[in-house]
Amino acid sequence: MTREKVLRGLPGRGKMEHTTTARHFIFGREMCKIGGHMSDLAPTVLLSAEDVQTRVKALAREISREYPPDEDLHLVAILKGAFLFLGDLIRAMDRNVTIDFMAVSSYAKGTTSSGEVRMIKDLDSGLEGRNVIIVEDIVDTGLTLAYLQEILHARNPRTLRTACLLSKPSRRKIDVKVEYVGFTIEDRFVVGYGLDFAEKYRNLPYIGVLNE
């Protein structure tokens, strides 16, 4: 999933200013320089690497139990944030799986998200008759996921379910069904394990909160 113009999930959301030398995102009372020194935003651990790996393996077992062992599962990861989650999830499944990727983007009207979504990368294969699981990094407003579920359901999969690593129910703007949830968290801006801030921090093995 895209991070909805980088600031998705930040309390107050903030506004964006452009300068001739750098871009700055203002939120609350602090300013973060994009492309500059980031040490003042060192993430605080929210979920340790061990916590994440333990929960992902449990989710893999939970998902596998709900499908007959002779049926393949087709997992669709939403780029970029879900790529690590997908990798660990399928490695914990003792069954036949296939994978594919999609990329979507929310875009802004003025300084706020419009809630509209556009597709950047479509799937490479069809879904008809397949057991499809959407793999998301994080679900907050639900708008992007609702869009994905609608367009993928129209492609006639045999089943269509969703697995997300993180859920922020306090930010929901639309009711969406998520069958498999790794962790439910408060409204904090999180990075690590595939999630980014300005394309940084994706490589962290844990989920961290940026100091706000």
- Distance CA(116)–CA(122), nearest Å, equals 17
- Active-site annotation holder among 72, 94, 124, 140: 140
Q: Cβ atoms within 10 A of the Cβ of 17, count?
A: 12
Contact between residue 207 and residue 52 where contact means Cβ atoms under 8 Å apart: yes
Contact between residue 181 and residue 212 where contact means Cβ atoms under 8 Å apart: no
83 CA to centre of own chain: 9
Q: Tokens 């998200």 belong to which residue?
A: 113
- Distance CA(202)–CA(210), nearest Å, equals 13
Is 187 marked active-site?
A: no
C-alpha atoms less than 13 angstroms from C-alpha of 58 in its C-beta half-sphere: 11
Pairing of β 44-47 and β 112-121: unpaired
- Distance CA(74)–CA(155), nearest Å, equals 13
Question: In Å, how far are 3, 68, 200 from 191, measured between CA atoms?
Answer: 10, 35, 8
Q: Which residues are catalytic?
A: 140
